[in-house]
Amino acid sequence: MFRDLVGEKPLENVILATTRWGMAAQVEPLRSEEREKEFCTSEDFWKPLLDRDSQYARFEDSRESALNLIMSLVNKQPKVLQIQKELVEDGKNLIDTAAGNTVNEESKRLEEKYKAEIASIHKDMDEALAARDKDLQEALSKSEESFQRKLDRVHQQQDMLRYEQRDEARRNRDEQEQLTAQLMSQLNELKKQNIGYEEALARIRANEPKLRREQQEAVDAKIKEMNKKDKKDKTAWQVVMSLFPLVGMVIFSLLGIPSPMGIDAAAGA
């Protein structure tokens, strides 16, 4: 999880520190050193991070020890964390990042585990009820409440991860509905003005400088393609539908129909 959050390269700027050495020296020094060795050599703990140039240190429960840890990082070059790159540069939702995926998979595993525990408790509760064992019923009830709280926390975590995804989907849906409403409004205005095919092309030609060069080239190519076809019964509406995929709502600005979103200003951006 930590490696998914930080990424590979930034691990060289990580210090893994053990604490409470002041107490350990007085109570269980040998046991503490054994645990320290286990942390540093076990694949289940810090070894994968230390193999990627992370550092290990002891925090000696003193101000001097804390300052030494901080000073060891002062001259290191800052690194962009993987979670930062994925969220900012790649524009991913939290649930779609490597760390988010790890958390999501772990939460699914815990969800299945807690549900199985609760199901087992329900089975034991039925047996306790049949035996009229009130003490066992009470113990099972408390155990069920404990696992239910854990399950609720897992569900809250899952909701937090999915909220951003649902929120983005809702924003995209709202934007699509707004765009559709604007398009219909502009088409109605086009119908009111009763613009013909040739007049529509003339207006577009006159306003083409508003477009970027690559847009102008695409529009010109499309108009040539349209002109090769039989012009009989051609309409301004057909012009709009042909050019809309190339320039979007800007097409109405080219036709002299004001856009409700200020597309005129954005056309040549």
In-domain check, residue 186: no
User: Which residues, including other chains, have CB under 8 Å from residue 57's CB and lie 6 or more apart?
Assistant: 15, 16, 17, 68, 69, 72
Residues 35 and 62 in one domain: yes
Of 33, 60, 85, the one marking the end of a domain is 85
The first and second tokens of residue 126, run together, are: 């039925």
In-domain check, residue 225: yes
Residues 108 and 40 in one domain: no
Q: What helix, strand, coil percent values describe the chain, rounded to 5?
A: 75, 5, 20
Residue 1, helix vs strand vs coil: coil
In-domain check, residue 127: yes
Q: How many other β-carbons are positioned within 10 Å of the β-carbon of residue 254?
A: 24
In-domain check, residue 178: no
**How far is residue 212's CA from residue 201's CA, in Å, rounded to a whole number?**
18
Q: Tens digit of pLDDT for each residue in 56-67?
A: 999 988 889 899
Given a cut of 70, whether residue 189 has pLDDT beyond it is: yes
| Beta-strand pair 15-18/55-58 | parallel
* Average pLDDT over every residue of 77-106: 82
**How far is residue 241's CA from residue 235's CA, in Å, rounded to a whole number?**
10
For position 259, what pLDDT does the model report?
A: 60
In-domain check, residue 181: no
* Average pLDDT over every residue of 25-43: 86
In-domain check, residue 110: yes
**pTM (two decimals):** 0.43
Matching residue, tokens 């034991």: 124
Residues 53 and 19 in one domain: yes
Residues 109 and 47 in one domain: no
Q: What is the number of structural domains in the chain?
A: 3
Residues 81 and 20 in one domain: yes
Residues 72 and 101 in one domain: no
Matching residue, tokens 């979670």: 83
Q: Tens digit of pLDDT for each residue in 162-187?
A: 766 666 667 767 777 777 788 888 88
Residues 152 and 221 in one domain: no
Residues 11 and 80 in one domain: yes
In-domain check, residue 188: no
* Average pLDDT over every residue of 128-150: 89
Report the chain's mean pLDDT, rounded to a whole number.
83
Please provide the distance, in angstroms rounded to a whole number, between the alpha carbons at the two ends of the chain: 42
Q: Tens digit of pLDDT for each residue in 105-138?
A: 888 888 899 999 999 999 998 988 888 888 888 9
Q: What is the domain extent for residue 259?
A: 194-266
Residues 152 and 98 in one domain: yes
Split at pLDDT 50, 70, 90, the class of 231 is: low
Residues 220 and 255 in one domain: yes
User: Which residues, including other chains, have CB under 8 Å from residue 155's CB and lie 6 or more apart?
Assistant: 111
Given a cut of 70, whether residue 75 has pLDDT beyond it is: yes
